[in-house]
Amino acid sequence: MEIGLYLKKLRECRPLVQNITNFVVMNTTANALLAIGASPVMAHAVDELEDMINIADALVINIGTLDERWVDSMLRAVKIAKEYEKPVVLDPVGAGATRYRTSTALKILESGEIYILRGNYSEMKALIGEKSRTRGVDSAESGKDAKDIAMRASDIFNTVAAVTGKRDYVSDGNKIYGVDNGTPLLSRVTGTGCMVTSIMGAFSAIAPPLEATVSSLVIFGIAAEMAENEAPYPGSFHVKLYDWLYRIDGVLVEKKKRVMKIEP
């Protein structure tokens, strides 16, 4: 998988990524997209959805902070994106923590064509109908069956599914990849999962969904590793993460990538 070439293409195309995301991470994800070489827009008003999605190259839906109006915007946005044939990435933040979050994520999955679905182990387990344990919006568990959860989610929802954790698993229902890049320090900064989901939106504008997902996880994971080498504490690590999303290139990706194709 030519991940470095996808990174080069992204920076040449500078895709515009429309985000309907949560209050906690709007600034964080916008800066991550700018650092990697994409362009962010954060807009959720129903009245401007069609105009905005028309000019955007991809749509990212993140359910981190929900209310009735935002859910309406998310559902309409997915339908509009389908009409304009724009890729949609869904981050089901906190699915399994409350019935409202789980049902909202499922409604979004049913309302249009989702290009990529990315969540942690507990979130993805909840979406496929299994009991899961969460702490707020964080996973309270990890499992040896994460690979199987990714494959089942991909099959059930007809999408590329990524289950992120100590090892990330990505499946399109037929192929499955494991990504080992990253650092535990990512769990000490809020919004890092949301950041990588938005980056998936950028890559989905220039690459097929499986390649877009794997590329995002590898590049984000390597940037995190490099950031930790320079700043092993959460505050300074956060800043260095942006720096390395900006600095990373194809040579570093090929040197540092830890991705493997796994037998189903």
Residue 130: band (very low, low, confident or very high) from pLDDT cuts 50, 70, 90: confident
Q: Domains, the chain, ranges and CATH?
A: 3-262 (3.40.1190.20)
Q: What does the mean pLDDT of the chain come to?
A: 94
3-state secondary structure the chain: CCHHHHHHHHHHHCCEEEEECCCCCHHHHHHHHHHHCCEEEECCCHHHHHHHHHHCCEEEEECCCCCHHHHHHHHHHHHHHHHHCCCEEEECCCECCEHHHHHHHHHHHHHCCCCEEEEEHHHHHHHCCCCCCEECCEECCCCCCHHHHHHHHHHHHCCEEEEECCCEEEECCCCEEEECCCCHHHHHCCCHHHHHHHHHHHHHCCCCHHHHHHHHHHHHHHHHHHHHHHCCCHHHHHHHHHHHHHHCCHHHHHHHCCEEEECC
Residue 133: pLDDT over 60? no
Mean pLDDT, rounded, for 10-20: 98
Residue 129: pLDDT over 70? yes
Q: Is the pTM of this model over 0.85?
A: yes
User: What confidence tens digit (pLDDT) does each residue in 18-64 have?
Assistant: 999 999 999 999 999 999 999 999 998 999 999 999 999 999 999 99
